[in-house]
Chains A and B, each alone.
Chain A
Amino acid sequence: MVENRPLLTVISHLILLVGILLIALPIWITFVAATHDEARMLQAPIPMLPGGYFWENFKRTLFGSGLSGTEIAPVWRMLANSLAMAMMISLGKISISLISAFAIVYFKFPFRMGFFWLIFITLMLPVEVRIMPTFQVVANLGMLNSYWGLSIPLIASATATFMFRQVFLTIPDEMLESARIDGASPMRFFWDILIPLSRTNIAALFVILFIYGWNQYLWPLLITTDADMTTIVMSIKQMLEAAEQSPQWNVIMMTALLAMIPPVFVVISMQKLFVQGLTETDK
């Protein structure tokens, strides 16, 4: 739609600006809070302009012991934990889903559709529903306070399997037949043809799953007791309740700011592929 109505342009820009302000304001406040010292953050009204303590807070949060007077891991350690968990979850989910979708679409085996629906039904059983038995299993396997315990119970993914199944179904049969005549074995076909053709979908899914993994709260809270295994998202909540003192907003907000960086980085760096993966239909 191409129109030339100045008033309409002004109004639509105004709406967009208001929207951006609404979304950006909390982030701005977070940033501002991270640049003041502890004392200033406890005075009313809260500051709206940045102060001069950014680097000090940054160093103290990232490498120091964070909150004063508590036993909590430095934030770089939590970032590393979160990163490890998010990567294991997203890569694990993608590889398992790719393989199971491959099996369901391209191989004829007894009860094929049965298995597909079995996988599909697990959509109704998210971690929160099966949290007690899952905890039991993980505890019995001795995976408490480990990266395996953090990621493995979250790896199986019906959504991703279903999505890859749909992607594979759009790839014409002739592609498989042509590869068969070319002499490609099933795994060769999987690597050489299917994976490159699903590249954009894999990227889109990676973005979504990385953020899903990064934002995990309940599960890590349950299975990690060791301060060294704390993830960043759960630590923010812990910091609020830490000790019996007023919250140290400057450190907490700096932690929140740091926690936002990896997902933002993933989204920005994979934006192009992400959009292609969700909209592209041409195979």
Chain B
Amino acid sequence: MAGLSDTFVVVAVLAYLVAMIGHAAEYAFGTRGAVARAAALVPSGGPLPGADPEPGSPPQPGGGRAALIGRGAVAMLVVGVAAHAVAVLTRGLAAERVPWGNMYEFVLSASLVGSVAWLFVLRRWPATRHLGLYVALANVVLLGIAGLWLYVPVGPLVAALNSYWLVIHVAAAALSSGIFLVGFVAAAMYLIKTGYDERGKRGFPYTLAPRLPGAETLERLSFRLHAFGFPIWTFAALIAGPIWAEAAWGRYWGWDPKEVWAFISWVVYAAYLHARATPSVKRTTAAWLAVAGWVTMLMNLFGVNLLFEGLHSYAGL
């Protein structure tokens, strides 16, 4: 069962890789298609390339081959997510416990949440399909890091983790991390889109802007995801975490490095929600706060475990 899990991780990485290449190819062919379409449309007064598709509408037709590749990439992404899910499931079955007992497993589970959240977003807003390139890329990188550097063989939990709070606290943390990941992608795309549209930025990564959904769609999507993830993060970091910490270490809050960074993330995301709710604060400022929030989340996941010694480091990592 453990070997099966490892195999499916490899399958998932390969599928994400193919999906990534497919999405990249769609970019490439799609651009040509868009140029050709623009040449054909301009005389008749049609929409210019890069004009926002209506929020929620399917991607503009044209570049039939590109669209086909794009749909193939999405199918491959679904295959990747399925293999990813099987890998997580078999890992849990092999260990006879929840599959997030060490950092390898946590990265595996949290990235799965991100992928599944992305599939939901894709279903609801098909126009955002092009962002799949980044979702696939993020998964290849995360699973690659997990497999190469964080891998540990299946084993029982260390005694310190043997608590039902492991299920509740870590599941909530993984869930909110996955949601914040997709929220971050939307916020970053919003910044690229507005940078291109309003400030005339043309260098990389602003070159991606013409293929992105409308700025308002992205901004709203980002807000929805953060507003959904924030209460879950509050529960994970400020309720379930402290309750477990009280039972395990005798105090509900002790400024352990992981606690410090969880608090920092909470404060930054709280600032994002405040900024978003304040009309006088620009939406781009709020989006930058969301980006900063994600940076603190990454710092907490990788930086804290690798750089600092604290109570949250177990099983080697």
Determine if chain A interacts with chain B.
Answer: no
